[in-house]
Chain A
Amino acid sequence: MADATVTLPRSTPRRRGGVASLNTGTAFGVGIATLWLSLLILVPLGAVVWRAQRDGLGSFWDAVTTPQAVAAIRLTVVCALLVAVVNAVLGTLIAWVLVRDDFHGKRLVDAIIDLPFALPTIVAGLVLLTLYGVHSPVGLELAYTRAGVVVALLFVTLPFVVRTVQPVLREFDGEMEQAAASLGASSFTIFRRIVLPNLLPAISAGTALAFARAISEFGATVLIAGNLPVASVHIFTQIETDNTVGAAAVATVLLVIALIVLIGLDLLQRWAARHA
């Protein structure tokens, strides 16, 4: 599951052999694909941005600076940042354990990592509410709290860092580590000076994707958030009350944040590829 969602933007690789030039067949295919993607994605997303500024930039600004909108954007970004940091640390740790450690049931644990991607998000929300909701059997009532939102986001973003770091760690041979150890480096120094720098591009890629997912999540947070202003829940409420301009304005802010993260990620990957 993760492999699909975690496919990273990358620079164009070199192709083997020749490639068909722009002939009628290609032009026809490109035409169909462009038309299709325009009708499905480009025009609708354009319409969101267009609707956000329909009554002028001033009213766009008014819509995103209402107290509810500001609270929603702030809460969402803060929670997403927290989720990104936890994922960066624990995701790397889990990937490490899954690659370098060996124990009974490792394959099962490895398969469970993908469960949050396979599970419908609304079911994920319900599942967490059963354990951490009102009348929590473990005495942890996180429903309708920020902590609850963070736990829901941690659940749905679990696979991102694990699945981007895992293959890199698997490729990474132990020779450098052995060399460092033979020169007297402590295991902490080896991790800090040898392993971490090599994993950093993968960790940041996974973290960026987890952050992008966290700011846009709806299904997992809608039940657990209650009256807390989460950005996507705020947008949903605005749509339901027919305030499409307000919905579109906050949606545009989310789209811009996501776009910045994806472009930043692309630049980072190119930089890493050049310095590899």
Chain B
Amino acid sequence: MPKYALRSVALGYLTLLVGVPVGLIFWRTFEHGLKPVIDSLTDPSVLHAFRVTAIVALWAVLLNTVFGVGVAVLLVRHRFPGRRLLSVLVDLPIAVSPVVVGLALILVYGRHAPIGGWLTDHGVKVIFAYPGMVLATMFVSLPLVVREVAPVLEEIGIEQEQAAWTLGANRLQTFRRVTLPAIRWALAYGVVLTLARSLGEYGAVAVVSGRLIGKTQTATLVVEERFQNFDQGTAYAVSVTLALVAIVVLILINVLRPKEHT
């Protein structure tokens, strides 16, 4: 009997908190058919926003993948003073509010800040432009690749890499032929997580982008802007599109996860 009580409490809570709200937004979006949704999504400023989101996310994923693998190798395979500190630094973004991330970047890379001023003088605009948005997105998704790849590197040990070295392979060959195949599922998992986080980032990007419609507005910023301006149809349509991406990510994660353990 208590088994059923617990089950109903758990399922009831999940239904009210997640199931019904998410279901309702799909229903609200499609209640007038497919046409208004397609019209909303093909609006030029909405299309532009999706493009901006894609560009920012691709750069953030690319840079965080390269950097994430590098730092994971460094943390697991090398000993150096300050290693623990580096590890803490990598985890730090989890605990920082996205708004604070945006503020932090403005204070350093804004036009009136020392580094930002110097960059502006040399023709590089960071804040209210792509570089700042990529930096903000990288900041919030920084730990994801590192924390997926590091435990696997730890797990596989270095015997195979040593064998490759003794057989005359250089560092790059060893990495490409031995290390990379061993970490590929963890890496794929980390990349998918980074991509999801990058596509969905709102707070940090809201601060550093300046929210210029048709210029630096991303998909998540469209949702907020249209909702505040009583264009709920577009807000719902873009939300549902982002939610569908999230669901695809969930499916991918569930496909990738079991392979990690084999």
- A-side residues, CB < 8 A to B, are 1, 3-5, 7, 9, 12-13, 15-22, 25-27, 29-30, 32-34, 36-37, 40-45, 47-48, 50-51, 90, 93-94, 96-98, 101, 103, 109, 111-123, 126-128, 130-132, 137-138, 151, 154-155, 158, 187, 209, 212, 215-219, 222-223, 231-232, 235-236, 239, 244, 247-248, 251, 254-255, 258-259, 261-262
Q: A44-B101, A122-B220 are in contact. List 10 more A-B contacts (CB 8 A).
A: A15-B154, A22-B79, A29-B74, A41-B92, A41-B142, A48-B100, A155-B21, A219-B202, A239-B99, A239-B207
Indicate the member of B14, B19, B199 with the most A CB atoms within 10 Å: B14
Q: For B188, list chain A residues within 8 Å (CB).
A: none
Q: How far apart are the CA atoms of A126 and B224 in the complex, in Å?
A: 8
Q: How far apart are the CA atoms of A111 and B199 in the complex, in Å?
A: 20
Q: Which of B2, B102, B247 contacts A187 (CB 8 A)?
A: B2
B77 engages A20 (CB within 8 Å): yes
B100 engages A120 (CB within 8 Å): no
B78 engages A126 (CB within 8 Å): no
Q: For A112, list chain B residues within 8 Å (CB).
A: 14, 18-19
Query: Within the complex, what minimum Cβ distance (angstroms) separates B82 from chain A?
Result: 8
- B-side residues, CB < 8 A to A, are 2-3, 6-7, 9-11, 13-14, 17-22, 24-25, 28, 67, 70-71, 73-74, 76-80, 82, 84, 86-109, 113, 115, 135, 138-139, 142-144, 147-148, 154, 157-159, 162, 171, 189-190, 193, 196, 199-203, 206-207, 220, 223-224, 227, 235-236, 239, 242-243, 246-247, 249-251, 253-254, 257
A121 engages B97 (CB within 8 Å): no
Q: Which of B3, B78, B89 contacts A37 (CB 8 A)?
A: B89
Q: For B67, list chain A residues within 8 Å (CB).
A: 33, 36
CB-nearest residue of chain A to B79: A19
Which 3 pairs from chain A and chain B are nearest by CB?
A120-B200, A216-B97, A44-B104
Q: For B254, list chain A residues within 8 Å (CB).
A: 111
Query: Within the complex, what minimum Cβ distance (angstroms) separates B199 from chain A?
Result: 7
Q: For A43, list chain B residues within 8 Å (CB).
A: 108, 115
